[in-house]
Structure formats: C-alpha cells, structure tokens
Amino acid sequence: MYIINAPDFKVEVALIFYHTLNRAMQQTANLEKLQDTLGYRFENSDLLLRALVHRSFAYENQDVSADNETLEFLGDSVLGLAISHLLIDLFPGYDEGELSRLRSSIVNERELAQIALGINLGDFLLLGKGEELSGGRQKPSLLANGIEAVLAAVYLDGGLDSAILLVRKIFHGYLEQREEDHLLKALDKDYKTQLQEITQAKLKLTPIYLLEAEEGPDHDKTFFIRVAIGDKMLAHGFGKSKKEAQQEAARNAIAEIEKDPGLLQLDVD
C-alpha cells in the first residue's frame, strides 16, 4: 500500500496552486498591457487570450482548449475589409485598380509582420518551448498570423466598427511615413531595389549582401545576412531563404537610413 505523506502532499498542492495563480496573474498583466497598446478594452478578454495562443502552446498545455488558427482565418477577412475602408479614406483620388494594388502591397506577411513588430506583439504570444527556442517571437509568419487573430478577436468582441478603428490606429502611422504621391511606386518595389536606388543616388555604390550564418536542418534552415556599403555595415536580416533574409536586411537598412541619414557618409582616409 502506498501511503501519502500529508505534509508533502500539502506542499505539492500549494506549489501547483502557486504556479497556476502566478501564470494567471502574468497572463492578466500581459493582456492589460496589450490592450493599452491597442487602445481597445475587451468586454471578453478570453477572446484576446485565445488570439495569442499558438498551436505549439496548446499542444504542450492540455488545459488550453483552443489555439488561434480559427481566429487567423476570420481575421484575414476582417483585415481585408477594414484596410479597404482605411485606404478609401486616405486616398480618395485612387481608382479601384490602384486601391487593389495598394491593399495587396500592405496585406501580406512581410508588411503585417512589421506592423506586429511595431506594437511588440511577439512579446505577448503564447508559444510552445520548441517554438520559443527557434525564435518564434520574431518569425514573420507567426507575427502576421497574430495580427490577424487579434483583429478577429476585436471584431468578435466589439464589431466591425471597433476592428476598423484598430486598423486605422495601427496602420495609419505606418502609411503616413511614406510620401502619398509615391506610395504605390514605393510599395511596388522590393526593398533591395529601393535600397540600391538610395545608395546609387547618394554614393554611386551598390549594396553588398554577405551571408553571416546558417542555422537549422536542411529542410528548415534560417539564413542570416548583413548588408554593407563599402566597409560600412548598414543592417542585418534573417529569413527562411537567402532572398528573404536579403530583403529583410535591405528593409532594416532603409529604416536605419531614415533614422540616421549620416549612415551614408562613408569614412574617407
């Protein structure tokens, strides 16, 4: 017969209760912080919590009943409708074809991931241990899916008007950073082309992309790239292909140049 030691059992139960309570308090604090960032208060905060649950976390935590994939599916449609409203308001002079091109340039994984990074969404995602260790909080696919899931949660909680207001908040400043007259032209170009045009105009030089490292098995590699002008390093980037990593490095370089134009002043011996 196995005899339970009462004091030890009480300690174990207390520890389980403590960790459960601590996890619940941490989740509540994170939800409050994210709602402050979004500028939207949920009537049903469980919707927001579900929007942050990646399938890897749900798999590893049997007490979690659902992940955010269904919300991602709904959020894709919500985003398309909301961004259409926003673009019509921002660019009343654009015709249907121009608006469609503009929407396609914005509503894609790369752009959505940048929006997610801008609000630090990755910090709030609930990931499994493996996904966490593989850099999931910075993965463009997870970030883009997370934005869509959060938008779906807002839509279910507060309706389409609330979703449109959120899209207006998190996308409007992003669009304002670009000159309206050249918005389509800029978005239609890839970032390597944009960076090359900047460096050619300022320095008559072409950016150089260098492979720094490769990580992961052959079927799931991550490539790390740095981009430089002459001997000056401008930025780093990573991706699941060399092309994706180069694009990310170019994008980051453009952002750095916008913040500090002095980066294009090369040292002269």
- Global confidence as pTM: 0.64
Task: Give me the residue spans of the domains in the chain.
Answer: 6-185, 189-262
Instruction: Assess contact for 229 and 261: CB atoms under 8 A.
Output: no
Q: Which helix (H) or strand (E) holds 208?
A: strand 208-215
Superfamily classification of domain 6-185: Ribonuclease III domain (1.10.1520.10)
- Please, is 17 exposed, middle or buried when counting C-beta atoms within 10 Å of its C-beta (0-12, 13-18, 19+)? exposed
Sign of CA dihedral 180, 82, 98, 239: positive
pLDDT (tens digit per residue) in 118-159: 889 999 999 888 888 888 888 888 999 999 999 999 999 999
CATH assignment, 189-262? 3.30.160.20
Of 143, 263, 138, nearest to 195 by C-alpha is 263
pLDDT (tens digit per residue) in 51-69: 999 998 888 887 777 889 9
Sign of CA dihedral 188, 193, 198, 204: negative
Catalytic residues: 76, 148
Backbone phi, psi, residue 256, to 5°? -65, -40
Taking residues 76-94, what's their average pLDDT?
A: 89
pLDDT given at position 3:
46
Domains 6-185 and 189-262 share a fold: no
